Structures are given as C-alpha cells and as structure tokens.
Amino acid sequence: MEHAALYRMIWRWHFYAGLLVMPLILVLSVTGSIYLFKPQIDRWEERAWQGLSEKGAVSPAKQVQAALDAWPSARFDAYRLPEREGDAAVVTVAPADGNAARDVFVSPRGKVLGSRDPEKRISALVATFHGSLMLGRIGDWIVELAASWAIVTILTGLYLWWPNDRRLAGVLWPRLSRGGRVFWRDLHAVAGFWVSGLALLMLATGLPWAGVWGSAFASVRAELGLVKGVQEWKIGSGGGEHTAHHRDAMAGMAMPASKEARFDPAMFNLVVAEAKGEHLAFPASVLPPGAPQRFGPPTGNVWTAKSEAQDRPLQRSVTYGLASGRELAREGFAGKHPIDRIVNYGIAWHEGQLLGWFNQLVGVLLAVMLITLTVSGFVMWRKRRPAGGGLGALRAPARRVSSKGLVGGGVVLAALLPLFALSFVALWLAERLLLRRIGPVAEWLGLTVEA
C-alpha cells in the first residue's frame, strides 16, 4: 500500500514536471542541435570570403591598416589568422563611438571585402536563443529552471520505468505491434531509459553557464580556493559578450605609451609569423597590447597569440615581448585547475566539439530522442485526459507518503539545483495553502479538497 502511494506521488511529480518543461525541451533540443554545427555554419556564412587569390598578397600589417582605413578612428583589437590558404583575415575593430565591435574581412591582397557584427552571426543568435530565449537574465533563469526540472523529470521517469518483472518487451524495446496507448507508453518509457544517461550529462554540462547555478559554483570555488587563472566560460546572459568586453576595455584597460607602440607593423608581422608557426587550433588570433579578451582582463603590454577552439583541450596561448617579439610565456589546457579542465571538457562535449563529428552525431541523436520523448509524452497526456474536464493526472494519495529515500534524494537535488529547490517549495506551499482549498481547482488537478 505504501509503495502504491509512493508510486502515485512520484508519477504526479513526473507528470507535472513534464508539462512544465515540455515546450522548452523542444526549443532547447532544436536550437542545441543547430549549434552543434557552429564551425560548419560559421564557415558557410563566410563562404564569400574564402578561396581567394593570393597573387600579390600583402603583409598582415597592411591588412590591419586596410581595415583601420575603412573604419577611421577605430581601435584595432584582434587579427584572426586565416583557417586555410586563400581565406580572408578577420580584423576586429572597436569603433570610436563605443558601438559594437566589428569583424572586418580583408582579402590576402589587402582589400576590405565586408564587415559584420559578431553578435549577429547565425551561430551567435542561436546560442543566445538557446541560453536565454532572447530575454536576457529572465530568459536565462527560465532556461535554468527548465533544465533543473528536466533533471527531476528524468530521475522520476527512471523510477517509474524500473521493471517489476523479467519481461524485456516494453522495458528495453517498445512493443510496436500493440498500438494505441501501449505503443505510446512503451515509446516514451524505452526512449527515456536509453537516453537518460546522455540527457543528464548534457543538462549537467550546461549548468556552469547558467546564471544562478554558475554564480553559486564560482562563489564556492573562490571560497574553497579552487581557482587558478581566469574562468574561461561565461555565466548567465547579460548581453553580447563581445560588446560588453569591448566596452569594458575602452573604459579601463592599461594602454601602452603611444598608439605607435601598440601597433608596430614590423613587430606585428613578426608575431603573426611566429603564431602561424605554432599551428594553433582555429579560430586563432593575434591580439595587440592592451586588447580586450572574451574572458578576463585586457592583455598587458605584450603581444598575445591564442586559440579559442571549441574543442577546449586544444586551446593554448603564447605571449611575446612588446619590443623584442620574443616568446615570454605560454599557457595550455594542462596548466588549468583540474576543476576547470573537467568543466571545459563538459563544455566541449555540450557544444559537440570534443570528439569531432561523432560528438555532433551523438548530440543530434540525443536531440531527436528528447523530441520523441516530448511528443510521446504529449500524446499520452491527450489520450488519458478525461473528456469531461480535468488535467489528467492521477489523483493524489489520500494520506502523506513518508520515504527516507525520497526525502534524502529531494535534499540532494535541492542542494545541487537551487532554482528547483525554490520553485518546489513555492509549488508545495501553493498546493497546501491555496489550491487544495479551492474546490474546482483541486478537483481539476486531482488533489484532495480541504476545507
């Protein structure tokens, strides 16, 4: 009897959690599967600036000067090395009026071919929609809340799936010939079982970016002294990364004594040649002294060559003397704090770049399975929803259910998922203090009416 009541209660939370996250899981699955192919999308978007003639090619310094001539009074902030021979170089400039940075595409022959706001790239827009629904901080919280409840949905679903007999049909594979509700139930349960591990991994690797979870994680790391160097991933959604970093840099970076010292053409050419010899993973850039960086403070009075590859274990940077061009230091993935390496492995996996095309394939299959779960769950709900009204949830147990395992699991989830904890308490209080006391609402939700 106790087990039946516990099953009924967990079923209800699985049901409500599923309804809560269903629309967002569809959005995150579609946008996430698109973002997996960011390198291919970016290269397609730059297709007009690839495979150009190198006859009469000019030096990198002349390419930078061409970009600055096209954007008078702008500040030079980065030079992206061409990925392949014949590709245009990308010179990032910051307009003097403080507006968004521009990526200026310059041909090998020194001709400006066009420019683009890096935040308006297809992949950048998809990433913003995936992370915050284009709603800034509020959207970031909504996505984190949905991810937290999705974890709860998976865990409760595994409890409900757990087989009570030795039959494998309907447990490890769906009974396709049964049709009707049995087919949809099996499709939902079996797909949920096979995808659960990967889904939990994907959700967990996205949490360090989330506003509430990521900020708490950063605070705990700092408090425990587990920080080494700059944290190289963003937290939350506070507007365009490039725009914010360029604005901050203009406000307070330590600049060299003169503009000429910051961009010495001969020294710049030397550093670019050194950087090309490093064979840094694409995208790789050379940053002048005092240039803003995506993460951390602006560069000092040194030249910096760095890779920002999405396959983060490949990232590394080399700094060169301002006047000598000699190598001063280098940093690689192995030098990061172990926790940072773990998080960066997770981010690379989450973005589909850790294991190349195989990682992308797994990500797409995961998205398809999550969409299958969402669609099958919706169909099951529509099939079981009463014709005369009601939400379609099992009626809540008549008495309170007590389970040490359930309480312990809830405490662990609350500690690990702060937004889940806050929302759970709010829903529990609303049910106990309000919803059960409104007869029609309680009946519609399948709750016991209290006077």
Given this model, what pLDDT does residue 281 score? 97
Going by pLDDT thresholds of 50, 70 and 90, the confidence category of residue 169 is confident
**pLDDT surpasses 90 at 142:** yes
Task: Give the per-residue pLDDT at 451.
Answer: 59
Q: What is the mean pLDDT of residues 106-112?
A: 97
- Tell me the pLDDT band of 396, cut-offs 50, 70 and 90: confident
At residue 260, the pLDDT reads 52
The CA distance from 31 to 133, in Å, is: 10
pLDDT category at 390 given cuts 50, 70, 90 is confident
Question: Contact at 8 Å (CB) between 208 and 346?
Answer: yes
> Residue 192 is which amino acid?
G
Q: Does residue 247 carry a pLDDT above 60?
A: no
Q: Is the pLDDT of residue 429 over 50?
A: yes
pLDDT at 74: 92
| 224-229, long-range: CB < 8 A, 24+ apart | 226/337, 226/339, 227/337, 228/336, 228/337, 228/340, 229/331, 229/335, 229/336, 229/337, 229/340
Average pLDDT over residues 426-431: 89
**Closest of 92, 131, 153, 68 to residue 370, by C-alpha:** 153
Over residues 198-222, the pLDDT tens digits come to 999 999 999 999 999 999 999 998 8
**Contacting residues for 54 by C-beta, under 8 A, at least 6 apart:** 85, 86, 108, 109
The percent of residues above 90 in pLDDT, for the chain, comes to 63
Per-residue pLDDT tens for 249-276?
444 444 444 455 567 899 999 999 999 9
What's phi and psi for 317, nearest 5 deg? -140, 150
Q: Which residue bears the tokens 């999405």?
A: 310
Q: Please tell me the predicted confidence (pLDDT) of residue 388.
A: 67
Q: Over the chain, what is the mean pLDDT?
A: 88
Specify the 3-state DSSP secondary structure of 164.
coil
Rounded-to-integer distance, Cα 421 and Cα 245, Å: 33
Written as one string, the DSSP assignment of 196-263 is HHHHHHHHHHHGGGSHHHHHHHHHHHHHTT---S---S--S--S-HHHHHHHHHHHH----SSHHHH-
- Indicate the pLDDT class of residue 440, thresholds 50, 70 and 90: confident
pLDDT at 46: 96
Whether residue 112 is predicted with pLDDT greater than 90 in this model: the reply is yes
Phi-psi region of 230 (alpha: psi -120 to 50; beta: other; left: phi over 0): beta
How far is residue 295's CA from residue 213's CA, in Å, rounded to a whole number? 19
Q: Which residue has the higher pLDDT, 302 or 7?
A: 302
pLDDT of residue 252: 41
| For range 388-393, the mean pLDDT | 75
% of the chain residues with pLDDT over 70: 92
Distance of CA 16 to the CA centre of its chain: 25
pLDDT band, very low/low/confident/very high, at 1 (cuts 50, 70, 90): low
**Which residue do the tokens 């409890």 mark?**
159
- What is the pLDDT at residue 242? 45
Give dist(CA 100, CA 245) in Å, integer. Answer: 10
pLDDT of residue 199: 95
